[in-house]
Homo-oligomer: A and B are copies of this chain.
C-alpha cells in the first residue's frame, strides 16, 4: 500500500475483505492486480487499501450500495470470485459497511 485513500466526507461505503490463503500462488497475484485495476474503473469506486502478510485485508471504498452490487456481479469479477473459492482462499469474509465518521492525519 503506497498511500492512504483520500475518501470524501462520510457517509460512504467500505467493503472489508479479509482472507486466509491456501499454499502457493496459482495465478493469485496476477488476478489480484487485474481486479484492482478493474475495480478502479467501476462507477462509484473511491479507492482501495490493501495489506498482505500471508493472510490479507483489502478495504475498497464506494459511494453507494448499488455500485458495490454492480461490481460484485461484474462478469470478470465473478470469474475471479469463483477461482478464489476454488483455489486461493481457505477462508474469507466480506463485510459491507457504511462509514459514518472518519478522522486522521
- A-to-B contact residues, CB < 8 Å: 1-5, 7, 10, 14, 16, 18-20, 49-57, 59, 85, 89, 91-105
Known: A4-B93, A14-B95, A93-B4. A51 touches B49 (CB 8 A): no
Secondary structure dominating the interface of A: strand
Closest beta carbon of chain B to A36's beta carbon, Å: 15
Assembly stoichiometry (copies): 2
Q: Which of B4, B53, B59, B96 is A100 in contact with, Cβ under 8 Å?
A: B96
Residue of B nearest to A50 (CB): B57
Q: Which of B1, B95, B103, B105 contacts A101 (CB 8 A)?
A: B95
Q: Which residue of B lies closest to A65 (CB)?
A: B100
